[in-house]
Structure 1
């Protein structure tokens, strides 16, 4: 029974971690756009977005990432045979990519807290979709578990990626016209 509680908590913290990752990059986009505003809007918006980012990042996103890792490690420790399943190797590769994404978001967070403008809002919008693509991949891997279905899921993943890129470009064009 304790195993089900650990699994449930693992899923809950995955959800809160992804919520944090999805929203933090959205805040990065707003912070970046605020840097282009004239004063006093630039300072007022920038300061408020920095506070929001800091609270989200350190109160929700980081703790969720750490607790997710701890709970996932407990499950692997309890059932080491899971590591013999081929789909788990693929899943754990995507999980590693997600942690790399998280650390890169930490770098973006630090830059924006210092008002550094290294990326455009369009580049950040594209960056925002990476966690979505990782989520889609992991869900397909965990639910489908076998290679043939995973390949179909990967093709679907690529189609979603293409659709997201088209959507971002379309949104940018519509926004530029308005």
Structure 2
């Protein structure tokens, strides 16, 4: 009699479904209802990435995040690690929700303030995921860490855009005492 490994709980098509669903939700406000040139219409900080880089970079980060999610979801660890595994799964779920609704805030509602809040929340959630995953599966933590590094830059850009530009949705002027970027 041969022992067989248990079937993985998270399969490739689970990742594909998450990727398609999140990008479909994300695409609707930006690609159908939104203003694709909205990002470039702002006064951006000098360290802001070019707009053409964002979609391919997020595709790579989404794929690496799904690989990390699959690694953690399929772990067979002692019960003592179950809470940490659950924390990674929940925080990654929240991260996917934040990713999906970002374009609603930014491109459809035209709110750099709400988009900045979403981005910073994504940074915090990624930090929780990396911390929890690091004790379970270091490669998974490293894969999520790529998104964390990107969100450090993205949060700085988003905060700068929110501070230095008018928010049409919230009808907020640039923050008092903050100079416009040149």
Same fold (TM over 0.5): no
TM-score, normalised via structure 2 length: 0.42
TM-score of the superposed pair, with normalisation by structure 1: 0.43
**Greater helix share, structure number:** 1
